[in-house]
Amino acid sequence: MRQKVSDELYILSIMETWYMTQTRMINDWLIERKGNALSPYQFTCLSTIIKKMYSDFELQGISPDALDTMAYKTIMQRLQVCYLIFT
């Protein structure tokens, strides 16, 4: 039992790191494009990716506190601004 719990914690740690790395990369890309508006296609793709990533990692057992990083919040703010522009 102890080995099983230890492995689960290790996998959870890997998943959290993976999620944080992905959101950081997307956030860095958006920061590089700060002066440029996203195209409707880029907006649609990023929205889908971010929503899917969040739900998938949530299903893997990552806590909402770990999912709601500053990078995630920044990405969501940018997507909300783009949404207002496109509607």
Cα separation, 40 vs 21, whole angstroms: 25
Domain edges within the chain: 2-86
Residue 45: closest CA among 66, 65, 68, 75: 75
- In total, the chain counts a number of residues equal to 87
pLDDT at 2: 42
Considering only CA atoms, which of 77, 65, 64, 69 is closest in space to residue 30?
77
Instruction: Give the tokens for residue 22.
Output: 């992905």
28-63 per-position pLDDT tens digit: 999 999 999 999 999 999 999 999 999 999 998 899
pLDDT, greater one: 32 or 3: 32
